[in-house]
Amino acid sequence: MSKVIIYTDGGARGNPGPAGIGIFFPDLGKEYGEVIGKATNNVAEYSALIYALKKAKQLLGSDKAKATDLEVRSDSELMVSQMKGEYKVKSEDLKPLFMEVWNLRQEFSSVSFIHIPRGENSRADALVNRALDAAVKTRLHF
């Protein structure tokens, strides 16, 4: 068994507004930042988590993923608490995203969620902002 730590972040400029995601795999030396279009902050946070789980499976391969424990670190208290079952998912926008994450979790030995202070998520946050800044410079419309 192996363990992989993932930092995820999602953010929107406006709520909803232009949104992006940032994912940082310190153990694998990989990082990703992308614009996802117009979304709320919470949808962006879940979108980052979904991207991270899919990317982890791709990077590890199916067989290794099944033997890997993932530790997802996020500054989204709502998302982490919902994934731990501490909060109900009430938003209709988040319910299908929650279910997608729930299904993706089955691809790994285990997936744990840890809420971290915003300052400890600076790399993933920077990836979100870099993607959004680049979109503004290229006049990408949302």
pLDDT at 142 over 60: no
Helix, strand, coil fractions of the chain, as percent rounded to 5: 45, 30, 25
10 in a domain, yes or no? yes
The encoded tokens of residue 2 equal 């192996």
pLDDT at 126: 97
Per the prediction, the chain carries an average pLDDT of: 95
Q: Is residue 73 part of a domain?
A: yes
Q: In what order do the strands lie in the sheet with 68-74?
A: 30-39, 17-25, 2-12, 68-74, 110-115
The predicted model gives 56-64 an average pLDDT of: 96
**Residue 140 pLDDT:** 56
Looking at the domain assignment, is residue 142 inside a domain? no
- CATH number of the structural domain spanning residue 30: 3.30.420.10
Q: Would you state the pLDDT for residue 136? A: 76
| Residue 34, in any domain of the structure | yes
Question: What pLDDT shows up at residue 137?
Answer: 78
Task: Tally the domains of the chain.
Answer: 1
Residue 82 within any structural domain of the chain: yes
Read off the pTM: 0.95
Distant-in-sequence, close-in-space partners of 35: CB < 8 Å, separation ≥ 6: 18, 19, 20, 131, 132, 134, 135, 140
> pLDDT per residue over 10-45, tens digit each?
999 998 999 999 999 999 999 999 999 999 999 999
Can you give the residue range of the structural domain that contains 16?
2-137
Q: Is residue 59 part of a domain?
A: yes
